Amino acid sequence: MALTTAPDPTRRGPGSARAHPQRRGPGRFRHSEGLAGYVFLSPWLIGLMGVTAIPMLLSLYLSFTNYDILTPFSEVEWVGLANYERMFTADPSYWHAVRVTLTFALIAVPLKLAAALGVALLLNRAWRGVGLFRGLFYLPSLLGGSVALAIVWVNMFNRDGAFNSLLSLFGITGKPWVNDPDWALETLMVLAIWQFGAPMVIFLAGLKQVPTELYEAASVDGAGRLRQFRDVTLPMLSPVIFFNLVLETINGFQGFTAAFVLSNGTGGPVDSTLMYTLNLYITGFTDLNMGYASAMAWVFLIAIAVITAVFFSTGRFWVHYSDGEDR
Amino acid sequence: MHPATPPTTGTPVGRAHRTPLPRRRLLRGLLAVTVAAPLMFGAAACGDDGGAADPNAPVKLSIFWWGGDARAKLTEDALALYTQKHPNVTFEKTWQANQGYFDKLATLTAGGNPPDLFQIDDNYLAEYAARNTTLDLTPYQESGKLDTSKFPKSLWQYGVVDGKLAGLAAGENTQGLVYNKTLLTKHNLPEPTTGMSWEQHIAWAEQVTAKTKVPGTQDPSADYKAFWVWLRQQGKDLYKGKELGFTAEDVTKWFDLWKGARDRKATPTADVIHEGNASDVTKQLVVTGKAATSWVWANQMPDLKKNTKDELGVIAYPGDPSAQWARASMYWSVFKGSKNKDVAIDVINFLNNDVAAVKLLGTDRGLPSNLDLRRVVSDDTTDPAMKQSIAVEAELTQKFGESPQVPIKGHSKVKSELIKAAENAQYGRATPAEAAAQFVEACKSAIA
């Protein structure tokens, strides 16, 4: 499966050996080939510069200014580190948003991965109609971060929504989940967890790659199901787990659409769904503090980079790229 | 002098007007080079004509507003009427729902592509005016190009920010307490009346809850316009100059008032109050059936009526109605950097003072600002909900107090902070005093 080879940078196929002699070709040839390379790259390169790199650098500059969207660029004032100072010392709602986002990511991401892995294990068997189930479980992910889905969610978890009707069948009086500051964020977590299809498909692909002889050997050695899972499945799956963990964590931190729709773009009730990105959006576009919002965006970028770096550095201890060729 | 541009008929496509300009200039340039000296004077004269001074030069004016389909239809019809009278002027019309409108407007401004003419309300007028985005309309008002002689003085004055007329009232409205008539009649309950005190209103609401099982009133403690009216009745205001016009004690009293109302079950529970705190007309509790009264603007009556089968009534907010004022429901503002300022001004003037245009627009943006035409429109109106809102505003007009100053820069943040603080108290996560202290603190940094 292509998916499992993707996160495996150490694999050296015959392809790289073949590419080698070409690099030693005559200089002129190399030059024109390089130019052609850039020409072929240009659609991507122009996109990168125009849509990503230049705006990013601009926002870095703006994060040191009092830019408020309405004032022309030429009249923007340089304020040094004032925006960053305000963020760290004088803005309680900023830290509130950080807390909300961390809570969301710390709970939703592991549960989502656990759900994805659990269902992938179940669907890895050769049952009749298992393909249909794979499709069904993947379906919510196709709907992705869509607005329509969030609206459905709000209506399902209202005081008089479908979920409470279901509860009332069992004699339980539900809560106004989405309108209760103690439960609104949890409702968003459930939505995120429910969309476990994408990591599940990747897990499934990973499970298919585990050589059956390892299980045979383990069972010959007397390992039970649980032991096999712990000592064969998990280590063999660790690159895939790592890949999913990194991606889902980044996704988790960036959750925006559902929170925006659920709270009408306010982060309410009482800021309970004020995710980092939503707070950033409100600061920039509603309160017109675009300079400050740019500073928030940069701190966010750095925070995510640090977290990802931590994952990569700890990965050494628990991720096994054991195709037998390396390490 | 301009045979290149045919007079427009019907609904012209704007693009057709843009293209002839550069081509003409190019031709003129070629002409000047080849024929040179003999025609110098002619070319110069032609050049003068091509400038903005020519009243017949084709102009494409961009205009942006928020609202629903109905407003779009009315506005497009009125603008078509303008094009009929001034065939050289066509419009690039953009409109969308209120949610996201100001994000879009800010983004357009940032992108250096703001509309020549745009709709704005008092929540954002000062934000834009303080940043020099809006054109000062005072000179046009003085020269008579913008005729406000038939406007109530307090109404156009409610568009003045820092001594500059930043926007011209596109209509007038005032706070309106809308109640469910059908529900009250069914249960033999009295209708509320203008002039009831806040305590009387709450006592009435408590009685409604007890008899109908529908909470008597939405809790408006998160609603800045209700808070504002209440403050004015206490001799305070939302803003005084660049400062807050109230203290934490005032806010505590306000939150306490409504905590009492909640304890007496005059209002719904916190989660339902939260639903009603959305500004969307369709979510107002009086139309969703979750409360008997909602706190809105009087001109929203027709919109509210569209969302419920029940009969609705409208009165002033509780307390002395002279705390209310002739508020500009929204304004027309001109972008300061617009290349078509004169035309934009003329369009505003037309939309406010032309009989046919005002009749077309009706009371969709509030009561017409021009008092003569307001009479014409109210005589013409057939929509019963619109009639009601006209009636209550006509009655209140005699009692209106002086307009407060337009909310200052940072007001949008103050509004959202009030919602947060009030909900903190409503959900019981903070005492009224704690919530009030937090609110005042947040306001101070918002308007700093």
Q: Helices (DSSP H) in B13-114: which residue ranges?
A: 15-18, 20-35, 40-50, 69-85, 101-110
Give the CA distances from residue B196 to residues A286, B204, B218, B219, in Å, rounded to whole numbers and listed in that order: 36, 10, 16, 16
d(C-alpha A322, C-alpha B5), whole Å: 76
All domains of chain B in start order, with CATH: 59-173+330-397 (3.40.190.10), 175-324+410-447 (3.40.190.10)
Q: What is the pLDDT of residue A245?
A: 95
**Per-residue model confidence as pLDDT tens digits over B364-416:** 899 999 999 998 988 888 888 888 888 888 888 888 888 899 999 889 899 99
Do A40 and A168 belong to one domain?
no
B114 contacts A78 by C-beta, under 8 angstroms:
no
A97 within 8 A of A275, measured Cβ to Cβ: yes
Note whether A70 contacts B412, CB cutoff 8 Å: no
The SS3 assignment for B59 reads strand
Residues B31-39: what's their mean pLDDT?
Answer: 38
The position carrying tokens 């308007």 is B447
**A307 burial class (0-12, 13-18, 19+ CB within 10 angstroms)?**
middle
Whether residue A44 is found in the same domain as residue A135: no
Please list, residue by residue across B71-82, b when 16 or more beta carbons sit within 10 angstroms of its beta carbon and e when fewer do: beebbeebbebb
A80: in domain: no
Among the partner-chain residues B102, B107, B131, the one whose CB lies closest to the CB of A68 is B131
Whether residue A53 is found in the same domain as residue A99: no
Q: Using a CB-CB distance cutoff of 8 angstroms, which residues of chain A are in contact with residue B103?
A: 285-286
Q: CB of B215 within 8 A of CB of B209?
A: yes
Contacts 24+ apart (CB under 8 A), A75-79: A76/A291, A79/A291
Average pLDDT, chain B: 87
Question: Do residues B118 and B324 touch, judged by C-beta distance below 8 A?
Answer: no
pLDDT score for A30: 64
- The reply to whether A260 falls in a domain is yes
Same domain, A114 and A44: no
Cβ neighbours of B107 in A, within 8 Å: 69, 285
Domain tally, chain A: 2
Chain A / chain B CB contacts < 8 angstroms: 71
At residue B330, what are phi and psi to the nearest 5 degrees? -165, 165
Report the chain A residue with the minimal C-alpha distance to residue B133.
Answer: A70
What is the SS3 assignment for A122? helix
- Predicted pLDDT at B13: 39
Lowest mean pLDDT among A129-138, B217-226, B238-247: A129-138
A1 located within any domain:
no
Report helix, strand or coil for B312. strand
Measured CA to CA, the distance from residue A264 to residue A261 in angstroms comes to 5
Q: Are residues A286 and A208 in the same domain?
A: yes
Which of B416, B424, B429, B439 to probe the A interface (max A CBs under 10 A)?
B416
**Beta-carbon separation of B419 and A266 below 8 A:** yes
Q: Write the residue in B131, B278, B410 that is nearest to A70 by C-beta.
A: B131
The stretch B283-290 carries a mean pLDDT of 94
Residues of B in contact with A181 (CB under 8 A): 423, 427, 429
- The proportion of chain B whose per-residue pLDDT surpasses 70, expressed as a percent, equals 88
The answer to whether the CB of B389 falls within 8 A of the CB of B363 is: yes
For residues B190-209, give the mean pLDDT.
96
Q: How far is CA A234 from CA A111, A207, A239, A320, B358, in A?
A: 16, 9, 9, 10, 73
Cis link prior to A269 (omega < 30° from 0)? Answer: yes
Whether residue A286 and residue B412 make contact (CB cut-off 8 A), yes or no, is: yes
Do B329 and B404 contact (CB within 8 A), yes or no?
no
Residue A85 Cα, gap to closest chain B Cα (Å): 14
Confidence band of B239 (pLDDT split at 50, 70, 90): very high
Q: Which of B274, B283, B444 is most worth mutating to test chain A (most A CB atoms within 10 A of its CB)? A: B274
Instruction: List the helix and strand counts (H, then E) for chain B.
Output: 21, 12
pLDDT digits (tens, 9 = 90+) for B144-163: 999 999 998 889 999 999 99
Beta carbons of A90 and B427 less than 8 Å apart: no
Query: Tokens representing B36?
Result: 């040179």
Task: Looking at the structure, tell me whether residues A34 and A175 fall in a common domain.
Answer: no
Q: Which two tokens stand for residue A181?
A: 């500051």
User: 3-state DSSP: chain B helix, strand, coil percent, rounded to 5?
Assistant: 50, 15, 35
Q: What is the pLDDT of residue A87?
A: 94
Burial B248-257 (b: 16+ CB within 10 A, else e): bebbbbbbbb
For residue B335, what is the nearest residue in chain A, using CA coordinates? Answer: A70
Q: Residues B91-121, buried b or exposed e (16+ Cβ, 10 A)?
A: bebebeeeeebbbebbebbbeeebbbbbbbb
Give which of A215, A267, A209 is closest to A239, Cα–Cα: A209
Contacts of A68 in chain B (CB under 8 A): 131
- What's the mean pLDDT in B318-334? 94
Domain residues for the domain of A236 are 91-318
Of B103, B275, B420, the CB nearest to A271: B420
Q: Backbone phi, then psi, for B120, in 5-degree steps?
A: -150, 160
Tens digit of pLDDT for each residue in B89-99?
999 999 998 88
Of A160, A271, A92, A91, the C-alpha closest to B427 is: A271
In 3D, which of A119, A108, A152, A123 has the Cα closest to residue A251? A108
A162 and A281 share one domain: yes
Tell me which of A10, A42, A57 is where a domain ends: A57
- pLDDT tier at B28 (50, 70, 90 boundaries)? very low
In a domain, A324, yes or no: no
ipTM (interface predicted TM): 0.79
Which positions in chain B touch A71 (Cβ < 8 Å)? 131-132
A contact test, residue of B98, B109, B420, B445 with most A CBs within 10 A = B420
Q: Are residues A53 and A95 in the same domain?
A: no
A248 assigned to some structural domain:
yes
CA angle in degrees (0–180, nearest 5) for B273-A257-A90: 75
* In a shared domain, residues A44 and A154: no
Does residue B4 surpass a pLDDT of 50? no
Lowest mean pLDDT among A42-51, B183-192, B223-232: A42-51
Comparing A31 with B350, the larger pLDDT belongs to B350
Which residues of chain A have a Cβ shorter than 8 Å from any chain B Cβ? Answer: 68-72, 90, 93, 159, 176, 179-181, 264-266, 268-271, 282, 285-288, 290
Residue A38 and residue A184 share a domain: no
Residue A263's domain is classified under what CATH number? 1.10.3720.10
Question: Does A307 lie in the same domain as A245?
Answer: yes
- Per-residue confidence in pLDDT tens, chain A, 327 aa: 344 444 444 444 444 444 444 445 455 556 677 888 889 889 999 998 888 999 999 999 999 999 988 888 888 999 999 999 999 998 888 999 999 999 999 999 999 999 999 999 998 887 888 888 888 888 888 876 678 888 888 889 988 889 999 998 998 888 889 999 999 999 999 999 998 988 999 999 999 989 989 999 999 998 888 999 999 999 999 999 999 999 999 999 988 989 999 888 888 799 999 999 999 999 998 888 999 999 999 999 999 999 999 999 998 888 887 655 444
Q: Which helix (H) or strand (E) segment is B296 a member of?
A: strand B293-297
The backbone torsions φ and ψ at residue B306, rounded to the nearest 5 degrees and listed phi first, read -65, -20
**B420–A288 CB contact, under 8 Å:** no
* A128/A40 same-domain check: no
Tokens found for residue B439: 């609110």
pLDDT of residue B273: 95
Question: Phi, psi (5° rounding) for residue B177?
Answer: -95, 115
Cα distances (angstroms) measured from residue B371 to each of B149, B315, B360, B364: 9, 21, 16, 16
Average pLDDT over residues B309-338: 94
Tens-place pLDDT, residues A2-27: 444 444 444 444 444 444 444 454 55
- Give the mean model confidence (pLDDT) for residues B86-112: 91
d(C-alpha B285, C-alpha B219), whole Å: 10
Question: Which residues are B95's β-sheet partners?
Answer: B65
Q: List, for residues B113-153, the tens digit of each pLDDT value.
A: 899 999 999 999 999 998 889 999 999 999 999 999 999 88
Determine the pLDDT at residue B302. Answer: 85
Nearest to B423 among A90, A270, A287 (CB): A270
Task: Look at residue A257 and tell me if it is in a domain.
Answer: yes
Amino acid B54: pLDDT: 67
- Cα–Cα distance for residue pair A63/A281, rounded to 1 Å: 14
Whether A297 is covered by a domain: the verdict is: yes
CA distance A98 to chain B (A): 17
Contact yes or no for B99 and A265 at CB 8 A: yes
The pLDDT of B287-306, averaged and rounded, is 92
* Separation CA A216–CA A232 (nearest Å): 11
Q: Are B348 and B361 in contact (CB under 8 A)?
A: no
Element (H, E) at A313: helix A290-318
What is the per-residue pLDDT for B110?
A: 85
| Cβ-nearest to B416 among A159, A181, A266 | A266
Element (H, E) at B272: helix B270-276
- Note whether residue A279 is domain-resident: yes
Rounded Cα gap, residues B261 and B292, in angstroms: 14
How many whole angstroms separate alpha carbon A144 and alpha carbon B239?
A: 44
